[in-house]
Amino acid sequence: MRCQTVFSHELDETKAISEFRMKISNKHLAMLICYYTEEYCCDKLQHAFKTQFPGIPFHGSSSCQAIMTEHGFHPGPVVGVFAIFDSGLSNAYGTGISVEANLPQMVDHNVQQVLEMALCHANRQSEVPSLILLHSTPGNEEEIIQALDQYFGTLVPIIGGSAADNQIKGAWSLFTSQGTSRNGISLTVFFSSQSIYTGFSAGHIPTEVTGKATKVHGRELIEIDNLPAASVYKEWAKLHFKENETHNIIFDVATAYPLGRIAGHLYDHPYFILSHPIRETEQGGIELFSKIDEGDRLYLMRGCKEQLIRRAARVVNAAFWQKLEDSNKIGVINIFCAGSMIQIRQDIDAVLTQLADELNGKPFICPFTFGEQGRFIGGENGHGNLMISSAIFHSPHDA
């Protein structure tokens, strides 16, 4: 098994994928994973992949402003591919997509439909995959993960990210071998011949400031401790400003000071899942990129720039060393929050250098997403914001 990344700034979708066809060998080619910025049309990309790579499963999702590979940080317009070559007799990969609206009342039905489509595509009906790559449009990620867990009756590792655009205006999109969607669910089931291990981390630490979510509607946090949530959040965040420092409170500080909830404990130490405030609502609440329930204990989290720079490599390291040390790294899919990328964009070369060092130059691809899905260290799958989620492929040294 091996991996390869290619990218292009060519704006014509047909020409860009034709470039990839020239660079990617067909020998043992098993799966293509594509990330692209909003300047590209998902329908044209889907058609080009189907034409240039007939019979090869492919899965694409839009990324915010850029993508990253071991070759560098690539600002948009850009389209990139992570190619998986797998010659193992047991390997299989299958994709599925729901082209209907990503609505709460449709989630269970759509997840079942998409999963069965993917399993059928892989010719592995009724089997449990080793990994699911999930990309949906923003809105119902928690319910999607719950439906995935219920379908298999066991916790299949998930890695994923919510499709993104450049300015949170809904210009995101998805595609797979079966079709395209601008408001739906897409996934790939992996039956890889080699091992895949995952990591999922917030990279922020809790401050001493805490409160309870006392009124919530969907993804709008209306009240904290029976007070308007936006006012409470502003007061919390101001505690950490320097004197005379001014901010557009909700927008500017949310990536450095998100809201956290305890997701679980490891040896009595809590680990957290984050929610990213987007904007203040008309009734004084906060719109979020993830769901908070009434009664949840909220913590103001803190993430310094140095932590955000180091954590991508740290999550990859944790995923790799959680199992046998005596193995070869093959390649990595690394899901990186768009908000975090924007916050540290001037220092993104440091992130790239640390990832490249951690992987010894092996291929990786990194989209920038509006929500991240992954498997916590406690084994449960979850959806959060400002997170890092990684899947690392590796094999024994003698393979």
The span from the CA of 258 to the CA of 385, in Å, is: 9
pTM, entire model: 0.87
Domain ranges of the chain: 2-201+307-396, 204-302
> Closest Cα partner for 388 from 340, 321, 322, 331?
340
The shares of helix, strand and coil residues in the chain, as percent rounded to the nearest 5, are: 25, 40, 35
Please answer whether residues 311 and 228 qualify as being in contact, where contact means their C-beta atoms are separated by less than 8 angstroms: no
Give, for all 399 residues of the chain, the pLDDT tens digit. 899 999 999 999 999 999 999 999 999 999 999 999 999 999 999 999 999 999 999 999 999 999 999 999 999 999 999 999 998 888 999 999 998 777 777 899 999 999 999 999 999 998 999 999 999 999 889 999 999 999 998 889 999 999 999 988 999 999 999 999 999 999 999 999 888 888 887 778 888 999 999 999 988 999 999 999 999 998 887 755 544 444 444 555 677 788 999 888 767 778 888 888 888 898 899 998 888 999 999 999 887 667 667 666 666 665 555 554 556 789 999 999 898 888 888 888 988 888 888 888 899 999 999 989 998 877 788 888 888 899 988 876 544
> Closest Cα partner for 337 from 271, 258, 249, 393?
258
User: Which tokens is 134 given?
Assistant: 């999930």
CA 166 to the chain's CA centroid: 16
User: 17 by DSSP, 3-state: which?
Assistant: helix
